[in-house]
Amino acid sequence: MSRWLLLLLFMLPLTGVAIDIKDPLDNPEQQALYERLLKEVRCLVCQNQPIGDSNAPLASDLRREIRNLIEQGQDEQEIRGFLLARYGDFVLYRPRFTAATALLWFAPGLLLLAGFWALWRVVQRRASLPIPDEDEEQAELLAAEARRE
Amino acid sequence: MLRFTLPIGLFLGLAVFLLVGLGRDPGYVPSPLIGRPLPAFTLPRLDDPEQEFSYSQMLGEVSLLNVWATWCIGCREEHQALMQIAATNEVPIYGLNWKDDPTMARRWLEQLGDPYVVVAMDLDGRVAIDWGVYGSPETFLLDADGQVLYKHVAPITLEIWEREFMPRIRAARGQG
């Protein structure tokens, strides 16, 4: 057990290996924006990774590009617009709210409502069933047992 | 009645939804550039880096723009098809050599043949980002004004060429 723990301990530094977040931007607000965008922007080569986690060449190009835009003083909206104009809604993990993405945004709520509706129907149906008389059931069971003996 | 039709309806709906999803390529991302002009660029030429090739030189006729690199396996796969398409002289094919080693790219064209009118070099991938390139080979079909008519992501085959590109080229020339 302790040997496994030791092994896990040795693996711990691996989780800290960040991809080129070397020399942070001078302005801490800009650095925070940079780090936030690294988590929000999808790497289109390895689609289930954000660009901050991916070592694909395209991801590193996009990191460099986003860094440049931040250094030029662009804000989050402008950088999102830059990415959207080139790669479309898919590039952001939280896409804009548009007619095309509305279903995506509403689906969880709609499914939850459908679940509640189904639950309500089941409960209603059960509630209208007659309540079985426990004493009667017990008596029947005892009678059946007596007959068997 | 609802007791049976509702679950069966739900099942069929889900089945159709999933079946359609099975047939779609999850790697394909629709380009927001379709129907809009390709962002302008000026880049050094592969054959002579001293000279520049710019966007405006492609305008005036329907053209094809192919993003390729020597490190890209799909590009090698489609090279023969590009050579055959170039041989038909239907449209000029321009190349964007994406984040590549120019020496190796030149050798590639010497050995496998050169289907391109001009190849521009995007050494740092900056122009490719403007075009929303995410996986080579990618091929853009542009009309005479530089509007993107169509974008194909994956190796081109002659079948795809006939099915997807030729009808659009004819339509763009008003021969539809």
> Which CATH number covers residue A68?
1.10.8.640
Q: From CA B27, how far away is CA B33, in angstroms rounded?
A: 17
What's the whole-number average pLDDT of chain B? 90
Domain finish residue from A52, A71, A91 = A91
The alpha carbon of residue B134 is apart from the nearest alpha carbon of chain A, in Å, by 6
Mutual angle of helices B102-112 and B73-87, in 10-degree steps: 50
Pairing of strands B93-98, B63-68: parallel
Task: Judge whether residue A33 has pLDDT over 50.
Answer: yes
Which of the residue ranges A23-27, A32-36, B108-112 has the most confident prediction, judged by mean pLDDT?
B108-112
B27 touching chain A per CB within 8 A: yes
Residue A119 lies in a domain: yes
Q: Within this chain, do residues A27 and A81 fall inside the same structural domain, yes or no?
A: yes
Closest CA to B130 of A29, A36, A5, A85: A85
Residue A4 lies in a domain: no
Which of the residue ranges A23-32, A98-107, B69-78 has the most confident prediction, judged by mean pLDDT?
B69-78
Chain B residue numbers with beta carbons less than 8 Å from the beta carbon of A61 are 99, 124-126, 128-129
The alpha carbon of residue B95 is apart from the nearest alpha carbon of chain A, in Å, by 19
ipTM over 0.85? The verdict is no
Which among A45, A86, A90 has the least Cβ separation from residue B130? A86
Residue A11 lies in a domain: no
Specify the 3-state DSSP secondary structure of A31: helix
Return the amino acid letter for B83. Answer: M
Inter-chain Cβ pairs, chain A and chain B, closer than 8 A: 40
pTM: 0.76
Best CATH choice for the domain B33-172 from the list 3.40.30.10, 2.130.10.10, 3.40.640.10, 3.90.1010.10:
3.40.30.10
β-sheet bridge partners, residue A36: none
Task: Judge whether residue B176 has pLDDT over 50.
Answer: no
Pairing of strands B93-98, B42-44: unpaired
Q: From CA A110, how far away is CA A116, in angstroms rounded?
A: 10
Pairing of strands B138-142, B118-122: unpaired
Residue A59 lies in a domain: yes
Torsion, Cα of B163, B90, B115, B33 (10° steps) = -60
B134 touching chain A per CB within 8 A: yes
At residue A99 the predicted structure's pLDDT band, cuts being 50, 70 and 90, is: confident
Closest residue, chain A, to B6 (C-alpha): A118
Q: Within this chain, do residues A78 and A117 fall inside the same structural domain, yes or no?
A: no
Q: Within this chain, do residues A106 and A87 fall inside the same structural domain, yes or no?
A: no
For residue B174 the two structure tokens come to 């008003």
User: Within 13 Å and on the Cβ side, how many CA atoms surround A84?
Assistant: 14
Domain finish residue from A71, A91, A111 = A91
Q: Within this chain, do residues A130 and A83 fall inside the same structural domain, yes or no?
A: no
Mutual angle of helices A57-71 and A76-87, in 10-degree steps: 140
What is the per-residue pLDDT for B142? Answer: 93
Q: Within this chain, do residues A78 and A109 fall inside the same structural domain, yes or no?
A: no
Which among A47, A57, A87 has the least Cβ separation from residue B132? A87
Chain A residue numbers with beta carbons less than 8 Å from the beta carbon of B124 are 61
List all residues of chain A from 19 to 48 with a beta carbon under 8 Å from chain B: 44-45, 47
Other C-beta atoms lying within 10 Å of the C-beta of residue B138? 25
Min mean pLDDT across A22-26, A38-42, A95-99, B31-35 is at A22-26
Q: From CA A86, how far away is CA B60, in angstroms rounded?
A: 24
A66 touching chain B per CB within 8 A: no
Residue A12 lies in a domain: no
Q: Within this chain, do residues A35 and A77 fall inside the same structural domain, yes or no?
A: yes
**Sign for the pseudo-dihedral over CA of A21, A27, A28, A32:** negative
Return the amino acid letter for B42. Answer: T
Q: From CA A92, how far away is CA A97, in angstroms rounded?
A: 12
The count of structural domains within chain A is: 2
Residue A142 lies in a domain: yes
Specify the 3-state DSSP secondary structure of B49: coil
Q: Within this chain, do residues A116 and A77 fall inside the same structural domain, yes or no?
A: no
What is the extent of the structural domain holding A120? 102-148
Residue A43 lies in a domain: yes
For residue B125 the two structure tokens come to 């991938």
Could you read off the pLDDT of B60-105 as tens digits, one per residue? 999 999 999 999 999 999 999 999 999 999 999 999 999 999 999 9
What is the per-residue pLDDT for B171? Answer: 92
At residue A117 the predicted structure's pLDDT band, cuts being 50, 70 and 90, is: very high
Residue A10 lies in a domain: no
